[in-house]
Chain A
Amino acid sequence: GAGVSQSPSNKVTEKGKDVELRCDPISGHTALYWYRQSLGQGLEFLIYFQGNSAPDKSGLPSDRFSAERTGGSVSTLTIQRTQQEDSAVYLCASSLTDQETQYFGPGTRLLVL
């Protein structure tokens, strides 16, 4: 595709429910990143994929958060048993390799009630 796409664009859920966020990177980009933007914490790194492997998961806030990438392309970020503090914009980025410019998607705005 022309750019990084993410779905859904907005998600409202109830505390305790599970959510899945999807990222479609730019075709051919081997590196994929998830970040989170919240009012109190700014922009924070969550996880990095090189191909289907995740060599750096250091930013995942708790074991309720997990992510996978399949076929070296689409990635899914899953949050189990959502909490109100999970409310944020979740951003995905991809780059040709891990030493190149990162291009960001439009984000998924998650609101946990």
Chain B
Amino acid sequence: GIQVEQSPPDLILQEGANSTLRCNFSDSVNNLQWFHQNPWGQLINLFYIPSGTKQNGRLSATTVATERYSLLYISSSQTTDSGVYFCAVEWSYNQGGKLIFGQGTELSVKP
């Protein structure tokens, strides 16, 4: 099957700092999603990004499918950005949209 690896596993930032989270995957994918899991456990969609670049406010994401990685950029971080960020992919050899998740990056933003 496909492997999904996220780095770093943990990250501590001061409020206002910028960060880059990385997701590497081992095979071709049909789609890729980034999620933020807040402290209450809710998974919130950030981006649906099988390729290219998207931006939404202080967040942006880039996926280079041919090189099998995706990056999530967080600029001017805020304490509300704290939580776990997951990358999830749909492997091209699966049917039906089943997502394979990475282990996540746990982000803590200090005031």
Residues of A within 8 A of B (CB): 31, 33, 35, 42-45, 48, 50, 55-56, 58-59, 89, 91, 95, 97-104, 106-107, 109
Residues of B within 8 A of A (CB): 30-31, 33, 35, 40-45, 48, 86, 88, 94-101, 103-104
In the bound complex, residues from chain A placing their C-beta under 8 Å from that of B94 are 56
> A91-B43, A104-B43, A106-B42 known; A43 and B101 CB under 8 Å?
yes
B97 near A102 with CB under 8 A, answer yes
> A104-B42, A107-B41 known; A48 and B96 CB under 8 Å?
yes
Provide the bound-state CA to CA distance between A97 and B95, in Å: 12
In the bound complex, residues from chain B placing their C-beta under 8 Å from that of A103 are 45
A56 near B103 with CB under 8 A, answer no
Task: Show 24 A/B contacts (Cβ-Cβ < 8 Å), sorted by A.
Answer: A33-B98, A33-B99, A35-B99, A35-B101, A42-B103, A43-B86, A44-B101, A45-B98, A45-B100, A48-B97, A48-B98, A55-B96, A56-B95, A56-B96, A56-B98, A58-B98, A95-B97, A97-B97, A98-B97, A99-B30, A99-B31, A100-B97, A104-B45, A106-B40
In the bound complex, residues from chain B placing their C-beta under 8 Å from that of A106 are 40-42
* B97 to chain A: closest residue by CB: A98
A55 near B95 with CB under 8 A, answer yes
- Grouping DSSP codes into helix (H, G, I), strand (E, B) and loop, the A interface class, with mixed when no group exceeds half, is strand
In the bound complex, residues from chain B placing their C-beta under 8 Å from that of A55 are 95-96
Nearest-CB distance from B52 to chain A (Å)? 15
* A37 to chain B: closest residue by CB: B41
Nearest-CB distance from B36 to chain A (Å)? 11
In the bound complex, residues from chain B placing their C-beta under 8 Å from that of A102 are 33, 45, 97, 99
Provide the bound-state CA to CA distance between A109 and B45, in Å: 20
In the bound complex, residues from chain B placing their C-beta under 8 Å from that of A44 are 101
Nearest-CB distance from A85 to chain B (Å)? 19
* B35 to chain A: closest residue by CB: A104
A31 near B43 with CB under 8 A, answer no
In the bound complex, residues from chain B placing their C-beta under 8 Å from that of A45 are 98-100
